[in-house]
Structure 1
Amino acid sequence: MQKNYCQRRKTPYNAPPLTDAELRHAAEGSERKAKINA
């Protein structure tokens, strides 16, 4: 449930599904930004 909600929020409805690699890369990017902003 949580995972699906997260994915749906990040991607536009008409966008193709992301691959595992792309999701991982996006997650890493978010973490990096959070650390920089903190």
Structure 2
Amino acid sequence: MNKEWFNSRAKINYFDKGYLVICAVLSVIEQQSPLNSTYR
């Protein structure tokens, strides 16, 4: 039980960091309109 809880917490922490990185990248892309139109 403890190990499962720890593993789920580690996954949540990993995905939170990944989510923050993705948000930062998307905000940078949105600030640059030429890149924005290229990726859309």
- Structure 1 segments, 4+ long, off by >2 Å, are none
Q: TM-score, normalised by structure 1?
A: 0.52
Of structures 1 and 2, the larger Rg is shown by 2
Higher helix content, 1 or 2: 2
**Identical columns (%):** 10
Q: How many residues align?
A: 20
Q: CA RMSD in A?
A: 0.2
The gaps in structure 1 that reach 5 residues or longer are 1-18
Q: TM-score, normalised by structure 2?
A: 0.50
